[in-house]
Amino acid sequence: MTSRFLGEHSGPWLSGSDRSSAVLVQPIGAFEHHGPHLPLQTDAIVVDELARALVESCSALELMVLPTLSYGLSSEHVWAPGTVSLGPTTLIAVLDDLASSAARAGIRRLVLLNGHGGNTHLLRVACREIRVRHGLLTFLLHPALPPDNGGEVGDPRERGFGIHGGLAETSVMLHLRPDLVDMGKAEASVPDWLDGFEHVGFGRAAEFGWSSQDLCASGVVGDPTCASADLGREHVAHALTSLGSALAEIAVFDFPGRKALDGGVAEQAASSSGAAGWRTS
Ligand SMILES: [Zn+2]
């Protein structure tokens, strides 16, 4: 099979044929504190492994996968040594440059495959800005949306607070990279005190800004103590199924009647950057 990893091809391979029906996937992780039991690069490792698995499970789709972006917006963990965070304007600028390059290559569909909850709100903004500035069809995909970003509450043992280094994430790492997990250092760290509020909290009327240190001193928010590789395998299988179904729709999705506008935006973008070769249909 022709490689789905764009970096393994030559430039002429890309420009030599029409790629307007391709789905370009940019996996995005983070480099941040995950407590004493998980590595700093957890989010990047997980999203990179999922992207590779999707290439196998979605072989009928014309996916093109970019190298995983191993840094993200991790300001909620910068208090902890080891965290490396891009600023929000930096990350937006990186994604804008990436989208500009993709548009010049004739790509129309860009998927941001996000492995870090702290990136989510910014990536929603990036999808809209790239859509408007470069005319690309943009999509934001998550293997699993955490409760603080509108996802399901998850395991009742974590009472809706399993958002960072907890049961699900630790289990997935035990499945994918058990050599990097130290379960002897895993400790439950669930902010029960938030239960005392009716309106303020994750998924409630009044959201709040937070640093992980505000929620739990260890920086872990959840309960990893019952994590297992079997549970991680289930999570990965579920994620691959839902991501694959979403990608199949993304491959054919379009806004009816909007192609002419896309072409105008794209031509402006190409001429202002001095680029050539943009295709819109
Ligand atoms: Zn994480």
Ligand 1 centroid from CA 276, angstroms: 39
Answer whether residue 55 shows pLDDT above 60.
Answer: yes
* Residues facing 84 on adjacent strands: 31
What pLDDT is stored for residue 270 in this prediction? 46
Assign 250 a pLDDT band (cuts: 50, 70, 90). very high
d(CA 267, CA 277): 10
d(CA 112, CA 140): 5
Ligand 1 centroid from CA 179, angstroms: 17
Ligand 1 centroid from CA 58, angstroms: 25
d(CA 34, CA 48): 17
Ligand 1 centroid from CA 40, angstroms: 8
d(CA 171, CA 235): 8
* Residues facing 68 on adjacent strands: none
- The amino acid present at 276, given as its one-letter code, is A
Ligand 1 centroid from CA 244, angstroms: 22
Lowest-pLDDT range, 41-45, 87-91, 144-148, 164-168?
A: 144-148
* Residues facing 137 on adjacent strands: 109
Domain ranges of the chain: 6-259
Ligand 1 centroid from CA 83, angstroms: 12
Q: Please write down the long-range contacts of 81-90, taking CB distance under 8 Å and 24 or more positions apart.
A: 81/33, 82/31, 82/32, 82/33, 82/40, 83/31, 83/32, 83/33, 83/40, 84/31, 84/32, 84/40, 85/30, 85/31, 85/32, 88/122
CATH number of 6-259: 3.40.50.10310
Expressed in angstroms, the distance from the first to the final Cα of the chain is: 25
Strands 109-114 and 63-65: unpaired
Ligand 1 centroid from CA 168, angstroms: 10
What pLDDT is stored for residue 194 in this prediction? 87
Answer whether residue 273 shows pLDDT above 80.
Answer: no
